[in-house]
Chain A
Amino acid sequence: AQSVTQPDIHITVSEGASLELRCNYSYGATPYLFWYVQSPGQGLQLLLKYFSGDTLVQGIKGFEAEFKRSQSSFNLRKPSVHWSDAAEYFCARSNAGKSTFGDGTTLTVKP
């Protein structure tokens, strides 16, 4: 069964600092990978997605992610975090309609 692991339950960074959220997926052919963000009391919003091609993908709000097949990873990065980035972040993979989400990483931003 496909799986997605987000090793960090909670991360705290200072505003303006860089951010990296980790995501590992179980091996499978042609993974479709995603990062979503959920603000408190809100639904989920897609940040970025990877299907194939360039392994560095750009998303909204200044986020990017790098697909590394050798490490089965799809880590999310942002060079400078803003207070409004505080939220819960989910990594996900899908295959023909079936989707699996990680347990999420809660990001706290210190002033």
Chain B
Amino acid sequence: EAQVTQNPRYLITVTGKKLTVTCSQNMNHEYMSWYRQDPGLGLRQIYYSMNVEVTDKGDVPEGYKVSRKEKRNFPLILESPSPNQTSLYFCASTFGGEQFFGPGTRLTVL
């Protein structure tokens, strides 16, 4: 089944404790993105990647890192999480302009 998977789905952590949210797609898509969704603000793009080793900043990249060492994986790294990064995070892969979204990761930073 073609899909985008994210792990973990839920995470509660404390300020400053490094974490990684994984994202994997099995559709061989070149483009992948990370978004955060906050009430009333829609989805805001954090980073995107056009292919292996090619990444670029979206609209809200501060406090986040990404890497794209393999085509299928696009992890999101929070080196030192802060409470304002509490949000719902979505990974997506893109083909033909259509984005296929993962199920989301709800992150709470205390």
Contacts and interface: CB of A to CB of B under 8 A. Distances in A.
A101 interface: yes
Given A97-B56, A98-B45, A102-B42, A49 B102 contact: no
B97 A97 contact: no
A94 B48 CA distance: 12
A44 B101 contact: yes
Interface string B86-108: 00001000100111011110000
B59 interface: yes
Contact of B58 (A44, A49, A90, A98): A98
A94 B101 CA distance: 15
Contacts of B97: 32, 34, 49, 51, 94
Contact of A104 (B31, B42, B49, B56): B42
B24 interface: no
A1 to B, nearest CB: 8
Nearest to A48: B98
Contacts of A102: 42
Given A46-B99, A90-B43, A97 B90 contact: no
Contacts of B85: none
A40 interface: no
A98 B101 contact: no
Contact of B90 (A1, A43, A98, A103): A43
A75 interface: no
A68 B94 CA distance: 25
A36 B99 CA distance: 10
Given A43-B102, A43-B104, A45-B101, 9 more contacts: A43-B90, A44-B99, A51-B97, A97-B33, A97-B48, A97-B49, A100-B45, A101-B43, A104-B40
5 residue pairs, one from A and one from B, having the closest CB atoms: A43-B101, A101-B43, A101-B42, A103-B42, A97-B48
7 contacts: A34-B97, A43-B90, A44-B99, A44-B101, A90-B42, A90-B43, A104-B40
Interface of A: 1, 6, 9, 32, 34, 36, 43-46, 49, 51, 90, 92, 94, 96-104
